[in-house]
Every structure is written in C-alpha cells, then in structure tokens.
C-alpha cells in the first residue's frame, strides 16, 4: 500500500462496529498487488469506543469523526469529499474483501476504459454461500439476487461493496442526504443507468458480508425472513423515493399507483396478521407521509434526473424480472418476522 498519490479510496461508514471492523480493515491492508490505496473511515457518533480503537490500532486510516449520527448517505458524501483517489470503493464495516478484490476491480475498470459502477460476488460471512452477484430488480424495485455467473449487467450493486469512479460519483451528485440510510445504492445505480453508464457485476473474487449487522434483519433465519421495523420503514420509503425519481414517465404512471395500492393492502394485512397496528403506522403510513413531506426534493431531483436521461424506458427495464420478489419470498418463507 502506497501513500502518495492514492489511486483508490476505500470509504467505510462505521457505527458501533467494534465487533466487525477488524476483519474489514485487515482485509484492505492485506490486499494483493501493493496498490496505491487510502482508507477513510467515517465514525457516525459510535458509543462503543470505535473511535479510539480505530485511531490506536489503524493509524494509517483517515478517521472522520461525526458529533452526531448522520446516516449512511451523509457519511459517504463526507468521505468522498475528502477522498483523493480516482476510484472509490464504498465498503460496509461488516464486509471483508477477498485478497484479490481491489486488484480485480481495478483491472476491470482499466479494461472497460469508461465510467461504470462495479461490484463483486457477495458471500454470506456465516455460511460461506454466495448471496448474489449484483441484483436484478422487480417492477417495485425490490432487489432480486442475481446468481447467474454469466450475467454481468445488473440493475444494482449492493452498497456493501460498490466501486465507482470519483468523476462519475461527482457527475451523479452522490447520495441524496435526505435518504438517510438504505436504498442509496439502488438510487445511485438507477441514476447511473439512466445516464447511460454500465452497472456491472464481476463473476470473480468477492467479499464476505455479515448481512443485517447494521439495521438487523435482511436475512433468512430458520427458513423465515427476518427484518426490523426500522429497516422495513426505511426500505419501503426509499424504494418509493427511487421510483418517483428514476422511473421514466410511462413506467411511473403505470406502476407507481399500483405500487402504492399494494403497499396499503400489504400493510393492512400484515397488521391484521401480527395484531399490531404499529406495523401499518410505522412502516406504511410513514412511507406515505415521507412522500408528501419530501415532495419538493423529489420533484426537483426528478426533473434533473429525467433531463439527463440518455436511455429509453425499454432499455431501463432490461435489468428487470417481472415476478414480484415479495411474492416469491412469501411463497418460499411465509410472512416475515418483523421485530
């Protein structure tokens, strides 16, 4: 690893990540190829001693300490603003790279010669099984894990390990800070594709990921999907945001009213099954309230994104699979546990 000048900036958003941050940081310091890499860590007002731990044990990492909890979007925007590399690798604190990961991403970036968002195969840190190689999208923007090693062009790359040239990041404007957390990777990938840039998953190398460490849930436990109120609320809200922002007008007019109607039905039925009105109020009602309260931001940003669009809506849906992913999960795992 070389100090000056860095070619690659690895950006790690950390919040109370003491139990996972060692594996993450070590995996970067142990990368093959002696690449010019810098490491930036944004600590989001952790209460577990992360700041002093990282500062003492990893003095070569550039530590940005936040006085308050600002969320994933702000954290990454701050790190990118301070980054000196040509390329950015956004990495979760609960993810650890394979030894050849950075070298593999750099080689692909050099090979294609243009701006693109790249990702690596994701493996479950507990079982070692491959989780996805990027994701396709269903009509309601639920990520559908891509397990086809021959398919590289995907709808989105999971933000746990996402490579993007800094120039492209700046052109796209980074993450909308009012997203907070969750769904920002979906937003960035959709915006990149609309502007004509590739979103590509590689079939080699990879990273290990402790899924759900940050927000809980997001995984199958004993053949049942588990999630949390906070994760589900943020996920439903931000998927709606991305749909409003990214869907070309014909798609938006067709799908968005259907999406809202299905959300309301889903929330009502789930509340009845759980016998807990909080499910509807906190997740689905909160989603509708957020759409209204953020309407000015949404309309302003939508105009900009659609004005910059270079592909047709038919090209945009090339990465879609038309079976609703929630239905597939319901048939396979039953009603999710929300805790």
Domains and CATH numbers, the chain: 8-209 (3.90.550.10), 219-338 (no CATH)
Cross-strand partners of 43: 14, 65
pLDDT confidence of residue 2: 45
Q: Is the dihedral of CA 203, 136, 307, 183 positive or negative?
A: negative
Pairing of strands 37-43, 8-14: parallel
- The string of pLDDT tens digits covering residues 149-183 is 899 999 999 999 999 999 999 999 999 999 999 99
In sequence order, the 6+-apart residues with CB closer than 8 A to the CB of 180 are 71, 72, 73, 234, 238
pLDDT at residue 213, rounded to an integer: 62
Average per-residue pLDDT for the chain: 92
Residue whose C-alpha is closest to residue 178's, from 291, 280, 279: 291
Q: Are strands 337-338 and 224-227 parallel, antiparallel or unpaired?
A: parallel
Q: Is 131 exposed, middle or buried (0-12, 13-18, 19+ CB in 10 A)?
A: buried
pLDDT bucket at 3, cuts 50 / 70 / 90: low
**Which residues, in sequence order, are CB contacts of 218 under 8 Å at separation 6+?**
211, 212, 226, 227, 231
Residue 31 reports pLDDT greater than 80: yes
Report pLDDT for 55. Answer: 96
**What is the percent of the chain where pLDDT is above 90?**
79
Sign of the alpha-carbon torsion through 295, 301, 303, 305: negative
278-314 per-position pLDDT tens digit: 888 889 999 999 999 999 999 999 999 999 999 999 9
Phi, psi for residue 261 in degrees, rounded to 5: -65, -45
Q: How confident is the model at residue 248 (pLDDT cuts 50, 70, 90)?
A: very high
- Collapsing DSSP to helix, strand or coil, 195 comes out as coil
- The model carries a pTM of 0.93
How many whole angstroms from its chain centre is CA 81?
A: 19
What does the pLDDT read at residue 297?
Answer: 96
């Amino acid at each position: 690893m070389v100090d000056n000048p860095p070619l690659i900036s690895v950006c790690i958003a950390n919040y109370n990540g003491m139990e996972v941050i060692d594996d993450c940081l070590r995996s970067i310091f142990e990368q093959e190829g002696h690449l010019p890499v810098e490491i930036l860590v944004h600590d989001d007002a952790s209460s577990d001693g992360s700041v002093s731990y990282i500062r003492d044990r990893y003095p070569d990492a550039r530590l940005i300490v936040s006085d308050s909890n600002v969320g994933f979007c702000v954290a990454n925007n701050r790190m990118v603003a301070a980054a000196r590399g040509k390329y950015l690798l956004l990495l979760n604190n609960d993810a650890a790279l394979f030894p050849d990961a950075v070298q593999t991403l750099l080689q692909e970036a050099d090979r294609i010669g243009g701006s693109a968002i790249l990702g690596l195969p994701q493996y479950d840190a507990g079982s070692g099984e491959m989780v996805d190689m990027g994701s396709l999208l269903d009509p309601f923007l639920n990520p559908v894990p891509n397990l086809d090693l021959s398919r590289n062009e995907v709808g989105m790359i999971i933000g746990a390990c996402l490579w993007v040239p800094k120039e492209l990041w700046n052109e796209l404007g980074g993450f909308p800070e009012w997203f907070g957390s969750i769904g920002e990777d979906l937003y960035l990938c959709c915006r990149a594709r609309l502007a004509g840039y590739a979103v590509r998953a590689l079939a080699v190398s990879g990273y290990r990921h402790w899924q759900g460490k940050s927000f809980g849930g997001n995984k199958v436990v004993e053949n049942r999907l588990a999630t949390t109120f906070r994760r589900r609320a943020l996920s439903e809200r931000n998927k709606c945001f991305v749909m409003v922002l990214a869907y070309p007008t014909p798609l938006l007019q067709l799908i968005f009213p259907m999406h809202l109607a299905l959300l309301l039905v889903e929330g009502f039925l789930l509340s009845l099954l759980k016998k807990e009105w909080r499910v509807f109020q906190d997740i689905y009602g909160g989603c509708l309230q957020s759409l209204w309260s953020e309407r000015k931001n949404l309309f302003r940003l939508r105009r900009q994104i659609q004005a910059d669009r270079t592909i047709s809506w038919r090209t945009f849906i090339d990465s879609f699979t038309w079976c609703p992913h929630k239905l597939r999960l319901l048939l396979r795992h039953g009603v999710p546990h929300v805790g």
